Amino acid sequence: MALGYLLAGLATLASGSGSILESVGVRRAGAYGGRSLDLIALRRQWLYFLGLGVNLLGFACASAALHRLPLFLVQSMLAFSVGVTAMISAFMGARLRAPGWGALLVGAIGLVLLGVSAEPGRAQALPPQWRWVLVGVAVPVAAIAVYARRHGQVRATVALAFGSGVAYSVVGISARTLHLPDALWRLVLEPAAWAIVLNGVTAAVLFAMALQRGGPTGVTAVMFTTNTALSSFVGLVYLGDHVRDGYVTAAVIGFVLAIAGAIAVAHYSANPRQKERTPAVTVTRA
């Protein structure tokens, strides 16, 4: 059990620090606030790819944690990686307003309540047909990118952030239910592995497009809420995730505090007046 909590903590740290590196890379490439095609310029930014590597390491830790801990706990911890991003950004010179530090404390209290109330254990196996459904989710989610190119700024931004949250939730569900074969090469035959790859790439692209069109506060709020709520619901209803007896109230309060804290940190860490003087921070997920 202790190993699961350690892995989830490492995943949170990696996700938050990787976001800093990716954000700096996006701005050095001049892609922030531009068109979707401007993201091609990232191929020359090694900091961006270093950030991707750190996020991938975090994803590996999160996947290992999901084999031991329920989705509602691990996904809430990953959502709170925005707090790690905000703290690193503050050390780099970006000002985190006083309510932001309060939001960090609120989110941390929520995570403690979730950690105490979560019942460790492996997930129930999904029926084979549902594993392929998770793979296919990447298709309608990717279609949101086409929708976004044809509609207004606000509607497109919300749709992109929502689609990213759905795809990220599928990644978490697939990682929770992934069966590791004795021979690693047999992973190519596992639908869950394909669901992780396809939905992970789709989520990353849609999230980057959403950040180009809208502010990080609204985008991260929609993405985090969709991702955590959807994956937690599936875990509790269909995958056998459990809350300890007598800790349901603590789990509900902890869940609300953790997500509210993450969203509030994203809001209060946004500082338009320092956009040119310090590296502005956006939040990404692996």
The predicted pLDDT at position 246 comes to 92
The predicted pLDDT at position 144 comes to 87
Show me where the domains of the chain are located: 2-274
| Residues 51, 286: Cα–Cα separation, whole Å | 10
Residues whose CB falls within 8 Å of the CB of residue 36, separated by 6 or more in sequence, listed in order = 145, 149, 209, 212
Q: Are 208 and 145 in contact (CB under 8 A)?
A: no
The predicted pLDDT at position 134 comes to 92
Q: Identify any residues that bridge with 119 across adjacent strands, giving them in sequence order.
A: 242
The predicted pLDDT at position 87 comes to 84
Q: Of the candidates 64, 100, 82, which has an alpha carbon nearest to the alpha carbon of residue 12?
A: 82
| Low-confidence residues of the chain: pLDDT under 70 | 1, 23, 25-46, 151-153, 215-217, 270-286
What 3-state DSSP class applies to 67? coil
Q: What is the per-residue burial (b if ≥16 Cβ within 10 Å, else e) of 43-57? A: eebebbeebbebbeb
- Residue 152's CB is within 10 A of a number of other CB atoms, namely 9
The predicted pLDDT at position 215 comes to 67
Q: Identify any residues that bridge with 118 across adjacent strands, giving them in sequence order.
A: 243
- Residue 13's CB is within 10 A of a number of other CB atoms, namely 17
